[in-house]
Structure 1
C-alpha cells in the first residue's frame, strides 16, 4: 500500500477518534448539566467528593464564581446601606438644629441642607433595592447547588417605635407586615420588603454588621431576640434576631 494512502487512512482514523471524543465529551457535559439541573444537591455532593469545587458547564461557572460574585454584591450592599444610615443621622441632626435656631436665614439654610440630604437618601434607597434584587438572583442560583450556604437566620431591621415602645413611628414597621410593637421571643413576622440578614454584632451596632443574605418578601420569620437602639430625635430603632419559619 502506498505510503500516502496509509497516511490518509491514519489521518481519517485520528479525525474520527477526535470526533468521537468530542461527541462523548459534549454528551457527558450535557448529561451532567441535566443532572445538576434536576438533582442539584446530589450531584453537587458527588462533584465535591470527587474534588471538584468549581466547574464550567454550558459556559457557566458555578458555585465558586457565584459565591465570589455574591460576596462582592454584599460588600456593595454594605457600603450603600452605610451611606444611607449616615444620611439618616445627618437628617436627624439637621432637623434637631432647625428646631433650636430662631434666625430665619439659618433656619432656611438648614432646611435646604435637609432637603438635599433627603434627595440623596432617596437615591441611595433606590440603589439599595437594585443591590438586593441582584443578591436575591445570585442567592437563587447558589441555593440550587448549595442550599445550606445561603443564610436564613440573623438580625433584621424592622423600623422605629415611640419612646415608650408602645407604638410604631410613622412609616414603620418598614420591613415587615403590620404587627404589634410589643415583640418577644417566638413572635412570628412576615417580611414585606426585601431586607438584609445581618451577622451577630454588639447591641446597637447591627446596622454595621456584615450582610449574610437577603430575606425575601413573603418570608415568615420567628423572633429569637429583640434589641433597641435609641434614635437621636427620640424613639427607638428595632432590630430582631430571627430565623426563617417557612
Structure 2
C-alpha cells in the first residue's frame, strides 16, 4: 500500500514541474503574439488579430500612414479616404477641406457641410437676399410660395398691401381667392354692393345659393316676385316641398285636375 507521505511528495513534484513549464512558456507565447503585430498597429480590444493605429491603414501585413489634409481628422476606416473634414469644412476633390462659405444673412447647417438663410431672407443662388416686407404684411415661412402675405383687411396689389374696400352690410370672409368679402344675412351682392333681399308676403328669407333669397311658405307657390295660395283640386295633396301639389294614389293629373285611373 502507498504511504501518505509518498503521495504528498509526488504532488509537490508535479506542482514544481508544472510551474516551471508555465514560467518559461508564457513569455515565449507573449513574445510570439507581439512579434506578429506590425509597426504602427495594436492588438484588437476584442477578439484576435490586430488593427492599425489612428492615421494608418492596412496594406497587406503592414500599416501605411494616411495623408490627412489640413482641417480634417483621421477616421481609422479601412475604406474611403481614411479621413473626414472638420465641422464647417467640406471635402474638395478628395484631397483637401475648404471652409464652408456662409453668406450674410445665413447660418451654418447642423451637418456642418451646408448653409441656410435666416428668417427674413431668401436663398438666391449663393447669397441670402433680405425680403422686402411691404407695410401691413407678414412673413409666410414658405420657401416655395410667396415670401409674405397681407394682414387681414388688406389685399396684395403688386408689391403693396392695400386696404380692402368692404361695402356696407358686408364682412371680410378670409378667402384667399375670389371676393374677399361676403354680404350679411338678408343682403345679396349686386354690382359690388350689398342690396337688401325683398321678401314678399307669405315667404321667408332663404340664404341658399343660386336662389332668389326667399322661399314661399308651405301652401304657397312662386308667381313672379310673389307667393300665391295653392288651390288644391279634389283628390290632390301638397308634395314634399310644400310649394307644389300632386294627385293622390290611384289618380292622375289631367288638365289641372286629378282623375281616377281606369
TM-score by length of 1: 0.24
The structure with the greater share of residues assigned to helix is: 1
TM-score by length of 2: 0.23
The structure with the greater share of residues assigned to strand is: 2
